Each structure stands twice: as structure tokens, then as C-alpha cells.
Structure 1
């Protein structure tokens, strides 16, 4: 069974666009999750964090207006932060690639290649 790749993506984000380009250049057409238009649930955020193997505080954009307006900080309890990310997905850092139960925050965009595996051949052409 082929691995499904899911890219959490913001079209206005140059790093997101670069990550998608890198994947497509290697013959991978990911499911594009536009989390700003289709906000994730708190449960989806928790699953995302588990796949990434990081804490919620590691995937927030502290410079976003919403982060400041909600008075979030490194001391914000995790359940509260997860709910805030779900309600205000702009504070979630991106792009994020998920595949096979694992994930990677693609900053820089080239980090998406970590999930492709070393045996996957590049597409010819």
C-alpha cells in the first residue's frame, strides 16, 4: 500500500510553496491540507503533534497577531494552546508534512525530503 503524504499548506507562504514544489519534483503528489480554510480540530492538532514528536509550543508562530491577542506564552497550558491553534490556525507554523505516522515541520522546506526515504528514486525528466 502506498504511503499517503499530507502537506499542511498555506498558499501565501513561500516555504509552503517550495515544499510542495520539492515533493512534486520527486513525483510525490501530496494531499494538500489548507488548514487556514479548513481549520483542524483539537484532536487533529494532538495527532499532528504526536506524529511530529514535538510539544505544542514548538509549532506555534509567536509573531502572529492572534498569538499576541490571545495572550499566549510559553507558560500557556498545552490543552489551552491546542484549543487556540484549532480556533486560530494561523498561529500554527507551516508547512508540515505527514506520512506513515511520522511528520516533519518543513522549515526549511527541504526538510520534507526527510520523509521520502533514501530509496525513493527521483522522477526522470
Structure 2
């Protein structure tokens, strides 16, 4: 099975998702999205394919979210900031042959394994 995880090694949920993939016998491509930021098209597609809204994919607990007052901004502006500041994207996104999921909670991975 082909799989890609958009990974932040500092995030425990992201590390657990990577472990779960490997336990399932899947060695995913690992994209450290903080170093290799999303394109707008890529992020838009993953959010849509995962069945989420832009707001659901935003990491609202991040200090930068509040600093930029993103609650008061449009979805388009929020998406622009998420592309410019990938730390604002919830993690991890996982893409397999069976679909795309935001692995929060981690059991969401079962849907695409």
C-alpha cells in the first residue's frame, strides 16, 4: 500500500500515527511539512478529500492562530495563513490508496488502512 504522512516529529499524535502505519506493515513516505510546506492546491485537496472544512483542519490551539486573529478572518484568509505558516495545520494528515484522513483521533487511520 502506498501511503504518505504529513509529519511533525515534535507532535506525539503524529509520532503515534507513524507507529500505527508501520505496525500495519506500511512504510509511508514521510513529508515533514514544516520543512516542506504545503502548496495551497495540495492543502485544499487534502482538506476536501478528508471531508473537512478549512476551520476543522486549522490548529486553533496554536498561539499564532490567536495572534493573527484567525477566528475573525475568512476561510480563504485562514487557508492563506495555513499555507504560509504550516504549524497552523492540524496534524497529521495521512494519504493512502484508500483515502485521506486527519489522524485525530488516531483511530481514524483504520478507515484508510
Fold-level similarity (TM above 0.5): yes
- Superposed displacement of residue 102, structure 1: 2.2
| Count of residues paired in the alignment | 113
Q: Which runs of 5+ in 2 are unaligned?
A: none
1:39 partnered with 2:37: yes
Aligned to 2:73: 76
State the structure with more CA Rg.
1
1:67 partnered with 2:65: yes
TM-score of the superposition, structure 1-length normalised? Answer: 0.83
How many Å separate the matches in 2 of 1:24 and 1:102?
17
Q: Is the 8 A contact 1:97 1:105 kept in 2?
A: yes
Structural RMSD (CA):
1.4
TM-score of the superposition, structure 2-length normalised? Answer: 0.91
- Superposed displacement of residue 101, structure 1: 6.7
* Runs of 4+ with >4 A deviation: none
Q: 1:20 to 1:95 in 2, by over 3 A?
A: same
